[in-house]
Amino acid sequence: MSAKTLYDKLWEDHLVHTEEDGTSLIYIDRHLVHEVTSPQAFEGLRLTGRQPWRPDSAIATPDHNVPTLGRAKGIEDPVARIQVAELDRNCEQFGITEFGMSDVRQGIVHVIGPEQGFILPGMTVVCGDSHTSTHGAMGALAFGIGTSEVEHVLATQCLIQKKSRTLRVSVDGKLGSGVTAKDIVLAIIGEIGTAGGTGYVIEFAGEAIRSLTMEGRMTVCNMTIEAGARAGLIAVDDTTIDYLRGRPHAPSGDRWEAAVKVWRGFHSEPDARFDREVRLDAAAIAPQVTWGTSPEMVVPVNDRVPDPDSEQDATRAEGMRRALDYMGLKANTPISEIPVDHVFIGSCTNGRIEDLRAAAAVAKGRQVADHVVQALVVPGSGLVKRQAEQEGLDKVFVDAGFEWREPGCSMCLAMNADQLNPGDRCASTSNRNFEGRQGKGGRTHLVGPAMAAAAAVAGHFIDVRDLQGN
Amino acid sequence: MDKFEKFTGVVVPLDRANVDTDAVIPKQFLKSIKRSGFGPNLFDEWRYLDQGQPDTDNSSRPLNKGFVLNDPRYRDGQILLTRDNFGCGSSREHAPWALADYGFKVIIAPSFADIFFNNCFKNGILPIVLESEYVDNLFRESDGETALELTVDLDAQTLTVAGGEKITFDVDPFRKHCLLEGLDDIGLTLEHSERIRAFEEKRRARAPWIFGE
């Protein structure tokens, strides 16, 4: 029998049944639930008289719609208020644990799942949210699903799937100083494209990936979906085990020892074969900035906006022209000459404590540039916020002219009041620069947290390494 | 779910690659707790000149005349023709809900994003992958004075241009069966309840930390 990839192991461990044509029923260990993609699923259960198969497999929290200011007043938007109240009601009725809006453990689902130790190596994890790929950092098979599948998992604890192909992306060598996990994943997407991973599960490997902290690994896996792959994976190692030890939902005592023994097996065998391999040289990766309306439209900060006239493929060239028009940019403009008027630091990609520390280190002792209208810092969870405040990071940000907010998805998708206006240009640590993503007519440039803070204080994009004295 | 039956419909050509689900249905409409009523806000930011809001009347909003859904030739279109990687980005099932609510039954593209592709089948929409060459031809043919009409026969796996050529397409046999019969996935899976329970007991023995105390 051929040597197994990590994905092979996870797939086989969860296989309940396979039909002749390969259509399979796979068992789901963990289900994260939020207010936007679940109400119709719970309604489906009610209409059919079905009950959740295993309520203890799920945790719920409101994150997409919650305000990041004046939370004590509740939610002003009546439509959003109903949706959050509906989540409360559904969790209550169906016996699902919820961290409600006033709970310190509330936050973005993909931040609180790992934070609570609710997601463990070897698990299958789903959520009605495409950034569920985040949890692959734990050596778990995690992917986003639609609302029909949310209902399917609630009712049956299973999903109907076919096995994906495997792609290994190896990032060899050491990252340069001032280059982060966000830059790695943006560089990967720039290399393989937003559809490069379609139909694959991606395993991230290589020295630069192994050297990342768990939070860095989560950033990389988070944006796997932006490369078209539903799931990203990273093998379990000491970094994984150290991160999980002592977390509220992680096992303890003898059970911990037994679990660790099993978890250590969650890696690809040395001679395992992948359907496709891609290699990147870590040393060649510089801080990245997106210039267009798709995450694959990305260049190093010291480069220029590309020219559609140099693009051979007509459909691509047309897409580039449309993107430049929407973004209000001219071809060949140096990235460092693009001014920004908004900055957003947060999201399930970059809203964790290490992200806030990296941004605060740049903001410390500096001031947000005069023409920057708004610079928001939105912690990924109540616990991240509390930790940051204990370290005095909130004060660093506020002193520098940033706004310090309550946790949630906020301006990553702008479902709450945190939105761009038409023509606003934002340096954002989020994951999508689609047209209108942060508000109709808003222009989003994706960057890492230190790069976002650097853009805030400089008033335009700047190589953060110049501020860090590298 | 209704059974997917053979039909003839107008092709609406949306000539863009990488259309994301934020574009299909913008975020403000995701606050709804219902599955229906998203059709008038399908492609809202491209279709209207002002900013749409949930629970408001769309009939008097200013239209973007240059957008394909507002072209009188393509009124009541049921087949969306588009480019690579359609449906990328967010997993929101509101995207297929909006497409279905508008009246689309079929989407043709050279490639689709995985989650969106999967979500379509749960909502009676057939996404058809065709080679770029065929897609290019259909784009050319749909730009005439009158709209192009296609007959979609899922059972035979064919697309037929009125009085013209027949194109065959591939579809996963299980998904085809579910669409043709209008089957409910959950009902099908629950027929395996005994298997699921047996699996769960084995898993509990091997990895007890996954289950509640």
A351: distance to nearest CA of chain B, Å? 18
Nearest-CA distance B128 → chain A (Å)? 16
> Quick one: pLDDT at residue A1?
62
Question: Maximum distance among all alpha carbons in chain B?
Answer: 68
Task: Return d(Cα A161, Cα A158) in angstroms, integer.
Answer: 9
Please give the average per-residue pLDDT across B98-124, as a whole number. 97
Interface contact A415-B30, CB threshold 8 A: yes
Which pTM was predicted?
0.97
Alpha-carbon distances, residue A48 vs A44, A45, A87, B184 (angstroms): 6, 5, 19, 11
Q: What is the pLDDT of residue B164?
A: 81
What six digits make up the tokens of A147? 């609302």
Instruction: Find the closest chain B residue to A154 by CA distance.
Output: B186
* A465 Cα to chain B: minimum distance (Å): 31
Locate the chain A residue with the closest alpha carbon to B48.
Answer: A440
Separation CA A30–CA A183 (nearest Å): 29
Of B23, B4, B15, B212, nearest to B132 by C-alpha is B15
**Separation in Å, CA of A206 to nearest CA in chain B:** 26
Put simply, the answer to whether A195 touches B51 (Cβ < 8 Å) is: no
In this structure, how many other beta carbons lie within 10 angstroms of the beta carbon of residue A271? 8
For an interface test with B, the pick among A29, A31, A36 (most B C-beta atoms closer than 10 Å) comes out as A36
**Cβ contact, residue pair B196, A156, below 8 Å:** yes
**Closest CB to A157 among B34, B118, B196:** B196
* Option in A144, A230, A413 nearest B27 (CB): A413
DSSP state of A274: -
Separation CA B151–CA B167 (nearest Å): 10
Adjacent-strand bridge partners of B184: none
DSSP conformational letter for A420: P
Chain B neighbors of A414, CB-CB under 8 A = 27
The length of chain B in residues reads 213
Nearest to A109 by CA among A43, A62, A159: A62
- Looking at the complex, report in whole angstroms how far the Cα of residue A226 sits from the nearest Cα belonging to chain B: 7
Dihedral sign, Cα of residue B92, residue B98, residue B99, residue B105: positive
DSSP string, chain B: ------EEEEEEE---SS-BHHHHS-GGGGG-SSSS--GGGTTHHHHBSS---TTS--TTSPB-TTSGGG-GGGTT--EEE--TTBTBS---THHHHHHHHHT--EEEES-B-HHHHHHHHTTT-EEEE--HHHHHHHHHHTTSSS--EEEEETTTTEEEETTS-EEE----HHHHHHHHHT--HHHHHHTTHHHHHHHHHHHHHH-GGGS--
A345 within 8 A of A405, measured Cβ to Cβ: no
Inter-chain residue contact A435 with B114, CB threshold 8 Å: no
Is B17–A319 a contact, with Cβ atoms under 8 angstroms apart? yes
Question: Which of B50, B88, B178, B179 to mutate against chain A (most A CBs within 10 Å)?
Answer: B88
Question: Which of B41, B86, B90 is most worth mutating to test chain A (most A CB atoms within 10 A of its CB)?
Answer: B90
pLDDT band with cut points at 50, 70 and 90 for residue B212: confident
| Confidence category of residue B162, pLDDT binned at 50, 70, 90 | confident
The minimal CB distance from A156 to the residues B28, B172, B189 is found for: B189
For A54, the 3-state DSSP assignment is coil
Cα–Cα dist A323/A239, whole Å: 40
Q: Tell me what the mean pLDDT of segment B22-29 comes to.
A: 96
The contacts of residue A42 (CB under 8 Å, 6+ apart) are A86, A90, A93, A94, A151, A154
Rounded mean pLDDT, B71-88: 97
What dihedral angle (degrees, nearest 10) is formed by the CA atoms of A77, A394, A466, A371? 50
CB contact under 8 A, A146 and B114: no
User: 3-state DSSP call for residue A290?
Assistant: strand
Question: How high does pLDDT run on average in chain B?
Answer: 95
Distance of CA A239 to the CA centre of its chain: 19
**Smallest Cα–Cα separation from A54: which of A128, A155, A127?**
A155
Chain A residue whose CA is closest to B123? A148
pLDDT of residue A315: 87
Q: Which residue carries 């932006």 as its tokens?
A: A226
Q: Are the beta carbons of A40 and B34 separated by less than 8 Å?
A: yes
List Cβ neighbours of A356 (8 Å cut-off, separation of 6 or more).
Answer: A345, A377, A379, A384, A388, A393, A449
Residue B179: name the closest of B128, B130, B125 by CA.
B125
Distance separating the N- and C-terminal Cα atoms of chain A: 50
Which residue is listed with tokens 């020892």? A257
- Which residue do the tokens 């994905």 mark? A7
Rounded CA-CA distance B21/A257 in Å is: 44
Question: Are A17 and B195 inside 8 Å of each other by CB?
Answer: yes
Query: What 3-state DSSP class applies to A177?
Result: coil
Residues, chain A: 470
Please provide the DSSP assignment of A105-160 as one string.
T-B-HHHHHHHTT-S-TT-EEEESSGGGGGGGGGT-EEEE--HHHHHHHHHHSEEE
Q: Which of A10, A11, A16, A432 to mutate to test the interface with B (most CBs of B within 10 A)?
A: A16
Which residue ranges make up each domain of chain B?
A: 7-171
- The CATH number of B7-171, from 3.20.19.10, 3.30.1280.10, 3.40.50.720, 3.30.1330.20, is 3.20.19.10
Contact B31 A43 (CB under 8 A): no
Q: Using the beta-carbon criterion (under 8 Å), do B186 and A156 form an inter-chain contact?
A: yes
Task: Say which residue the tokens 């028009």 belong to.
Answer: A325
Name the closest residue on chain A to residue B30, using Cα atoms: A36
Q: Which of A40, A128, A440 sits opposite B51 (nearest CB)?
A: A440
Across the strands, what pairs with A339?
A460
Predicted pLDDT of residue B107: 98
Q: pLDDT at position B13, please?
A: 98
CB contact under 8 A, A37 and B92: yes
Q: For B174, name the nearest residue in chain A, comparing CA atoms only.
A: A23
**Which positions ≥6 away from A130 have C-beta within 8 Å?**
A144, A225, A230, B89, B90, B91, B115
From chain A, pick out residues whose CB is under 8 angstroms from the CB of B17. 315-316, 319
Encode chain A (470 residues) as per-residue pLDDT tens digits: 689 999 999 999 999 999 999 999 999 999 999 999 999 999 999 999 999 999 999 999 999 999 999 998 999 999 999 999 999 999 999 999 999 999 999 999 999 999 999 999 999 999 999 999 999 999 999 999 999 999 999 999 999 999 999 999 999 999 999 999 999 999 999 999 999 999 999 999 999 999 999 999 999 999 999 999 999 999 999 999 999 999 999 999 999 999 999 999 999 999 999 999 999 999 999 999 999 999 999 999 999 999 999 999 988 999 999 999 999 999 999 999 999 999 999 999 999 999 999 999 999 999 999 999 999 999 999 999 999 999 999 999 999 999 999 999 999 999 999 999 999 999 999 999 999 999 999 999 999 999 999 999 999 999 999 998 75
Write phi, then psi, for B189 (nearest 5 degrees).
-65, -40
**B94 token code pair:** 């509101």
Give me the pLDDT at residue A470, please: 57
DSSP string, A327-356: HT--TT-BGGG-B-SEEEE-HHHH-SHHHH
Q: Which helix (H) or strand (E) holds A277?
A: strand A276-281
Closest by CA position to B26, among listed B98, B111, B131: B98
Q: How many CB pairs under 8 A join A and B?
A: 184
Q: How far is A468 from chain B (nearest CA, A)?
A: 34
Average of per-residue pLDDT across B85-108: 97
Single-letter amino acid, residue A396: V
Task: Please list every residue in chain A whose beta carbon sits closer than 8 Å to the beta carbon of residue B194.
Answer: none
The CA-atom distances, in angstroms, between A254 and each of A57, A139, A454, B75, B210 are 22, 21, 47, 66, 14
pLDDT exceeds cutoff 70 at B213: no
Which residue in the set B17, B122, B212 is minimally distant from A315, CB to CB? B17
d(C-alpha B106, C-alpha B77), whole Å: 10
CB within 8 Å: B22 and A413: yes
Instruction: Quote the CA–CA distance of A421 and A436 in Å, as a whole number.
Output: 9
CB within 8 Å: B45 and A145: no
Query: How many Å apart are CA B45 and CA A320, to the nearest integer?
Result: 19
In angstroms, rounded to a whole number, what is the distance separating the alpha carbons of residues B100 and B121?
11
**What is the value of ipTM here, to two decimals?**
0.95
Nearest CB partner across the interface for A128, out of B54, B91, B188:
B91
